[in-house]
Amino acid sequence: MNLHVLLVEDDYDLAASLVEYLELENITCDHAANGLHGLELTQQNQYDVLLLDVMMPKMDGLSLCDTLRKDGVDTPVLMLTARDTLDDKIAGFSVGTDDYLIKPFALKELLIRVRALAKRRSSQSRKYTVANLELDTEALIARRDGKALVLTPTEWKLLLELTRHSPQVVTREQLMRAVWGDDTPESNTLKVHMHKLRQKVDKPFKTPLITTLPRHGFVLRNDDEKNS
């Protein structure tokens, strides 16, 4: 199983050692030195496991984990910390942490925990459902009301990003990063692709799911959530 993990750690020496070790074990490891950069990377890439230090500048690990969970990101989180009191662990689990590893730790134990979290996630269904819309990320199939939607790769990425974050608002910047990364498209490119996506996801059906929020972005949610 080829894994892609993100390490968010402000100790550069420790981070370099962990990245080197994990990549020797055939695990691709991205690194961010603070929580805000880590948040940006999670919006640009799909990871199998997130390794978060607790004490970091700009945004600490607990705040980062809390933000990700509120945004609908369910990627397993392994918290790396020297703080090992029960209260510390309760604080971590309360924001959605999946596991804790107390510093200093053996590299082999880190590897075992990373693989265990990734395996646990891969054994779960990779399906997202919003109203009568379903995305199967394993089969790369989108269906609405049981009917398969024929999407281009760009439309699939846009719909997946909207579905992953539903019922939260997804900004234009988030959508552009999810699809094009750092290669910023022309100003009207996103508008054109969103129009085409709506023609496939909403137009053939009675109830639209995609809503534009001027100056904010887009949201995918059902009628009950829109009116609540």
Of the three residues 88, 122, 156, the one that is the final residue of a domain is 122
The DSSP H or E segment spanning 39 is: helix 35-44
Q: 4-53 pLDDT, tens per residue?
A: 999 999 999 999 999 999 999 999 999 999 999 999 998 888 788 999 99
pLDDT at residue 123 tops 70:
no
Strands 133-136 and 127-130: antiparallel
Q: Using alpha carbons, list the distances in angstroms from residue 221 to 76, 77, 176, 195, 211.
A: 24, 26, 20, 17, 8
Is 45 in the same domain as 150? no
Of the three residues 122, 154, 185, the one that is the final residue of a domain is 122
Q: 134: domain range?
A: 127-227
**pTM summary value:** 0.58
Is 170 in the same domain as 69? no
Q: Tell me, what CATH number does 205's domain have? A: 1.10.10.10
Of the three residues 88, 104, 122, the one that is the final residue of a domain is 122
Is 82 in the same domain as 132? no
Question: What is the chain's Cα-based Rg?
Answer: 19
pLDDT at residue 228 tops 50:
no
Is 13 in the same domain as 81? yes
Average pLDDT over all residues of the chain: 87
- Give the count of domains, the chain: 2
Cis check for the bond before 153: say yes or no (omega within 30 of 0): no
What is residue 170's DSSP assignment?
A: B
What's the one-letter identity of residue 78?
A: L
Is 161 in the same domain as 197? yes
Is 77 in the same domain as 145? no
Q: 54-105 pLDDT, tens per residue?
A: 888 888 989 999 888 887 788 899 999 888 778 878 888 888 888 999 999 9
